[in-house]
Amino acid sequence: MNKTVIKSELIHKEYILNEHPSGLKILLYPMKGFSSNYAIFGTKYGSVDNAYLNEKGETVDLPEGIAHFLEHKLFESEDGDAFTKYAKTGAYSNAYTSFDRTCYLFSCSNRFYDNLKILLDFVRSPYFTEATVNKEQGIIGQEIRMYDDMPNWRVLFNMLEGMFHNHPVRIDIAGTIDSIAKITHNTLYDCYNRFYDLSNMFIVLAGDFNTDEVLDFIYKNLKLPENPQGNTKSVMPEEPKEVKENLVSCNLDVAKPLFCLGFKEDNVAETPKEMKLVSMEILLKMLAGSASDLYRELLEKSLINEEFSFEYFNGRSFALPFFEGESDNPKEVMNLILNKTEEYKNGKFDEKLFEAIRRELYGRGICRFDTAESVCSMLTDATVLGYDIFKYFECLAKVTPEDVKSLLSIFEREKAVLSIVNPIKKGEA
């Protein structure tokens, strides 16, 4: 079996990449002397993948929330629940569905191969029946209702709904009560066979193990499909450049207004690349990080509190920076953020702050190689988004102020969407 050693001379790190004959990518990061191992078995299939091209070239629409539904059901099999099996080995296990991926994982300090066997078995052994699907519809329905009433969840999705006209990132990951009611065991099998094709999947492992032994174990225990369908192509609808709504608001049971301010990017690349990621991370910290003038001003004016945060939210077919927090005057927060970007555009760019943040991100990035979990997370992000984790560090080493300034055009008032969750007024409850 082939083994490619991916090295970084810059940060003196390396990992092993193996491509199984099925197309499955296996990434191994040995950590000699570490007491715990971490594993992820994932697929590049998430909530935005709700339409695909069939063999005739026709677009087939899927029920919203089906990727999340499938994740829930995959833990069940004819010979028992995977969580029960992990409880016997003492491993921690979990799974998650996001907008562009579904991942199944475990961490353990012993019985590594027993736990890896469980992971390989249940992810490759779908078992769906009409009865179990009907039961799960009720369980996920309760989850959807719960999230509908969660202010922090609602303020984010209201922003996404205001930003996008058609892109499925605007749809809640779990779907809706009506959409999950359309899911059957047959649609689950169809989605599994298409999007859980091994050519669309990856395994990431980090910990103290012998790479040859791990690869040999995976090759011997990986269940192969009888009739592989190949990687099914998702279909994304056309999305206008303009935002749908600049302001979205609702009332929920909160003590203080919540806000989420996002900026829509034009011509988002299919896979955000290393320099773009590095430059945006630096720019956001320069604009609103704890060392910025803007952050201090917002605090001094009592416009934000410790709940304030920001993120570069990006996936295989979407990307946008956003800021969120609590504020009695979210519109003023938006105005001050836009004012600061205008200052940068007009030449008032703090190069000393740029350099301090660049060094901070570089140091923090290196520290992420200290735990098996963070290593797996980094390699998973790189695999799903299509970039080189080591090239990311090369970009951090050579990024310039001009690279960062080039992203300022994203921060325009007409591209902004402000979502606000206001407290319920007396008498409205």
- Residue 373 dihedral angles phi and psi, to the nearest 5°: -65, -45
What local confidence, expressed as pLDDT, does residue 21 receive? 94
Q: Are 156 and 260 in contact, with CB atoms under 8 Å apart?
A: yes
Q: Which of 72, 80, 54, 267 is nearest to 188 (CA)?
A: 72
Looking at the annotation, which residues are catalytic?
71
pLDDT of 247 reads: 98
Closest CA to 379 of 212, 215, 230, 207: 207
pLDDT score for 316: 86
Rounded Cα gap, residues 100 and 45, in angstroms: 6
Token pair, residue 19, equals 């491509």
Residues pairing with 13 in the sheet: 8
Buried b / exposed e along 234-266 (16+ C-beta atoms within 10 A): bebeebeeebbeeebbeebebeebbbbbbbbbe
User: Would you say the pTM of this structure is higher than 0.85?
Assistant: yes
CA dist list (Å): 314 to 281, 309, 318 = 12, 16, 6
> Is the Cβ–Cβ distance between 115 and 107 less than 8 Å?
no
**Whose CA is closest to 164, among 421, 420, 419?**
419
Question: Length of the chain, please?
Answer: 429
Residue 153's Cβ-count burial label (10 Å; 0-12, 13-18, 19+) is: middle
pLDDT in the model for residue 420: 98
Between CA 11 and CA 14 the distance in angstroms is: 9
Q: Evaluate whether 419 touches 246 at the Cβ level (below 8 Å).
A: no
Q: What is the pLDDT of residue 243?
A: 97
Q: In whole angstroms, give the CA distance from residue 201 to residue 104.
A: 11
Predicted confidence at residue 57, as pLDDT, reads 87
The answer to whether 262 and 416 have CB atoms below 8 angstroms apart is yes
Low-confidence ranges of the chain (pLDDT < 70): 267-272, 426-429
Q: What letter does residue 224 receive in the DSSP assignment?
A: P
Q: Give the distance, in angstroms, between the CA of residue 371 and the centroid of all CA atoms in the same chain.
A: 19
